[in-house]
Structure 1
Amino acid sequence: MNFEYLSIFLLKPALVFTTAYILFRMAGKKAVSQMSNFDLLLTFAIGTIISEPILTSKVSMSIYYAVIFLVFYLLIEKLSLHNKWRWFLVVQPTVLIRNGDIDEKGLKKERLTVNELLGKLREKGYADPHDIDLALIEESGQISVIPKANARPVQPRDLNLQTARNFVPIPLILDGEIIEHNLTYLKLTKQWLFHKLSEKGIQTTAISSIMLGTLNEKNEIVIDQHLSQDVSTGDPYLYKPGDDE
């Protein structure tokens, strides 16, 4: 009897959860990010099928059907990569604005109102449709906007400026722990890191207080510690809404 209760309340939910996790991992990142029609169908189908055995005893059949749905999904994804099938399987983008003019047919097709379109443009940082060269509603339902040349943000090349290559700060300390594989990648040692920290007045015993430590393009360590600033000094820049007055 104890094993029966263990199976119902622990083993079965664990099996269902693990199976669903594995299936979504197999489906890939796209299936759980910006969903297309097929992505949404797979998510609902697997979610419904895989949760059914929690209330019944049909675990094996539910897993079987969920796997079959995944196989069909992966097959459709494979076919959609070929131009011969893509036009049929993949929803094509719909034009909403072209050269500053709102496409009424596009709005009617996607069942969008002008107010909703204007709201989507504001989310992209544009208030006037006349500033838009092309606006599309993509397969995922997201609206992509290409502004006119005179309405887009100024680029350094517009001003003939030379810019340095982007550098992504590399984490070396995260939540008080040294990221050793990043040190290895950079061919650096812990002794080098300890030396850099000591230059900033931070002892090795205080590493646990470091929330984030990154290496910048100047080969310097930038530190963000778990230290709250004293707000009792009356500094207006340190005010937090809700503080007692």
Structure 2
Amino acid sequence: MVGYVWVFLLKPVIVFSIAYTLFRIAGKKAVSQMTNFDLLLTFAVGTIISEPILTSKLPMSVYYAICFLILYILMNKLSLNNKWRWMLVVSPTVLIRNGDIDERGLRKEKLTINELLGKLREKGFADPADIDLAIIEETGVVSVIPKEEARPVQVRDLKIDAERNFIPIPLILDGEILDHNLKYLKKNRSWLFEKLEEKGYSAKELSLVTLGAMNSNGDLSLDLNMSQDANTHDPYLYKPGNKN
């Protein structure tokens, strides 16, 4: 009985917990846009840490996984040093310069013209002639700097004063009140319920609110779950299909 509990319950939980802890220690960078070192760590730790699920070599697998993690952290530290960085870190490659496609850069990165054009379209550009500089970064992401005449219009180009950006602060998510955000704003639930009543909703109708956020005017903006209005026939809410 103890053997079954170990194999089917405790062992998977321990393996998962160790893997999760190792990746938390490795940091966000290792699980986002990956460099060569990040990929190596991910594949190595993933392979090593899954070994105990099929065998009984849990201590040895944990040891090797920790060794790989230590090497990964050491390599990252060395890559911050200019003397080592040139040897450990892959340099960016130019793909377009002053509107002209760099064929050598494409061959080096094994990119086709169609793939390059696709990368440009992802950035909102269709013509390589509009690009001042396009490079492929160490992470594999293509960075694009358009020419002056092709770049999006900026507020400063219009010579007008712009207000500072304000990020709406969520106060209600899926019908649940976020008390920590209310505390941050030095508000309370009474204030929130008053704002809801101004919008025509009571505290009992919180389940209708998908998102409630305080905007730059100090007012409460609501996004409601309209699926509960089963009998609505508003033309603006039409959905294609035969389920209307």
Q: Sort the TM-score into its range (normalised by shorter chain).
A: over 0.9
2:233 paired with 1:233: yes
d(CA) in 2 for partners of 1:58, 1:147: 54
My pick for the range that moved more, 173-182 or 127-136, is: 173-182
Report the CA distance shift for 1:240/1:123 in structure 2 as closer, same or farther (over 3 A): same
1:232 deviation in Å?
6.1
Give the TM-score normalised by the residue count of structure 2.
0.96
Quick one: which amino acid aligns to residue 175 of structure 1? D
1:231–1:239 contact (8 Å) kept in structure 2 = no
CA deviation profile, 1:12-59 (whole Å, cap 9, x unmatched): 111100000000011000000000000000000000000001000000
Q: Which runs of 5+ in 1 are unaligned?
A: none
What is the aligned partner in structure 2 of residue 45 from structure 1?
A: 44
Give the TM-score normalised by the residue count of structure 1.
0.95
Identical positions, percent: 65
1:231–1:238 contact (8 Å) kept in structure 2 = no
d(CA) in 1 for partners of 2:216, 2:114: 45
What is the aligned partner in structure 2 of residue 14 from structure 1?
A: 13
d(CA) in 2 for partners of 1:90, 1:243: 56
1:154 deviation in Å?
0.6
Aligned residues: 243
2:140 paired with 1:145: no
Quick one: which amino acid aligns to residue 19 of structure 2? A
My pick for the range that moved more, 52-61 or 183-192, is: 183-192
How do residues 137-216 of structure 1 correspond to structure 2 at under 5 angstroms? Answer: 137-216=136-215
Q: Which runs of 5+ in 2 are unaligned?
A: none
1:208 deviation in Å?
2.6
CA deviation profile, 1:50-82 (whole Å, cap 9, x unmatched): 000100000011011001100000111111111
Secondary structure at the aligned position of 1:17 is classed as: helix
1:230 deviation in Å?
5.6
What is the aligned partner in structure 2 of residue 217 from structure 1?
A: 216
Q: Indicate the RMSD between aligned Cα atoms, in angstroms.
A: 1.4
d(CA) in 2 for partners of 1:173, 1:181: 11
What is the aligned partner in structure 1 of residue 131 from structure 2?
A: 132
